[in-house]
Amino acid sequence: MVAEAPSAGRLFLITGPSGVGKGTLVAALLQRHPQIWLSISATTRAPRNGEVDGQHYFFLDRSDFDARVAAGGLLEWAEFAGNCYGTPRQPVEQQLASGRPVVLEIELEGARQVRQSFPSGFQIFIEPPSFEELERRIRGRGTDSEEAISRRLERARVELEAASEFDAVLVNADLDQALAELERLLGLA
């Protein structure tokens, strides 16, 4: 747990089940609003095709990840579908202090930790139009093994039940409409 950073910037957190379209929405948001700073997470997951270290994630082995946890270098961290993911603390605090809007795109357990440490942050839950559509999107993305897909779908059922904990719930049915709604929630529309 951390004390809240003395910041002029605002912390926005985006969560929701794997495959719902978080990455797609955030990429579109950043393209339209380059003043937003997106946190780059650390993970023990192996890079997918086309993922670049330091750009999509900082890819660490488990002992390096554990060392960062032990040194207090992560703002939050969680295990998800067999891998560890965490938010490097220092850059988030720096960007908030500099007054930039900061976006974290993380899973449920991490979101709950951030809710404790940054109670003034704004947390948005992205929902799929249906569970069947979520499954179609995960499969259609074509990046995960059958085992990884099963773990993600199993976890998705738990995550979807937590939607009411969040400051706002946004259904990602039509992408353009969801993006417009996200901009409105972030005060950018």
Where do contacts with ligand ADP occur on this chain (CB under 6 A)? 18-24, 137, 140-141, 172, 175, 178
Q: Which is nearer to ligand ADP, 9 or 128 (CB)?
A: 128
Sign of the Cα torsion 2, 69, 148, 30 reads positive
Measured in degrees and rounded to the nearest 5, phi and psi for residue 140 equal: -65, -30
DSSP codes of every residue in 23-43? HHHHHHHHHH-TT-EEPPPEE
Shortest distance (Å) from residue 101 CB to ligand ADP: 19
Shortest distance (Å) from residue 28 CB to ligand ADP: 9
Interacting partner of 80 out of ligand 5GP, ligand ADP, none (Cβ under 5 to 8 A depending on kind): ligand 5GP
Q: Which is nearer to ligand ADP, 33 or 136 (CB)?
A: 136
Q: Which is nearer to ligand 5GP, 156 or 186 (CB)?
A: 156
Shortest distance (Å) from residue 92 CB to ligand ADP: 19
CA angle, 21 then 22 then 26, to 5°: 120
Residues that bind ligand 5GP (CB under 6 A): 18, 22, 41, 45, 76-78, 80, 85-87, 105-107, 109-110
Q: How far apart are CA 59 and CA 51, in angstroms?
A: 10
The residues with which 122 forms a beta bridge, in sequence order, are 12
